[in-house]
Amino acid sequence: MLTVAAVAALLANAGAAWAYWRFNGDTGRADEVAAPPTAGTAVDLVLSATSNPARVLRPGDTGDLTVTVTNQHPVVVRVLAIQPTGPIVADHDSRETGCADPKVQLTGKSFPVTWNVAPNNVAAFTVPKALTMRADSPAACKGATFTVPLRAQAVRP
CB 3: neighbour CB atoms within 10 A?
7
47-103 pLDDT per residue, tens: 879 999 888 899 999 999 999 998 888 889 999 999 999 999 999 999 999 999 999
Q: Estimate to the nearest angstrom the gap between the alpha carbon of 100 and the chain centroid.
A: 20
Residue 135 to residue 103: CA distance in whole angstroms: 9
Structure confidence at residue 54 (pLDDT): 87
Structure confidence at residue 74 (pLDDT): 85
Considering the entire predicted model, what is its pTM?
A: 0.74
Structure confidence at residue 68 (pLDDT): 94
5-44 pLDDT per residue, tens: 444 444 444 444 334 434 444 444 444 445 666 667 777 5
Q: Estimate to the nearest angstrom the gap between the alpha carbon of 58 and the chain centroid.
A: 21
Residue 62 to residue 140: CA distance in whole angstroms: 17
CB 54: neighbour CB atoms within 10 A?
9
Q: In the chain, what are the helix, strand and coil shares in percent, each to the nearest 5? A: 20, 40, 40
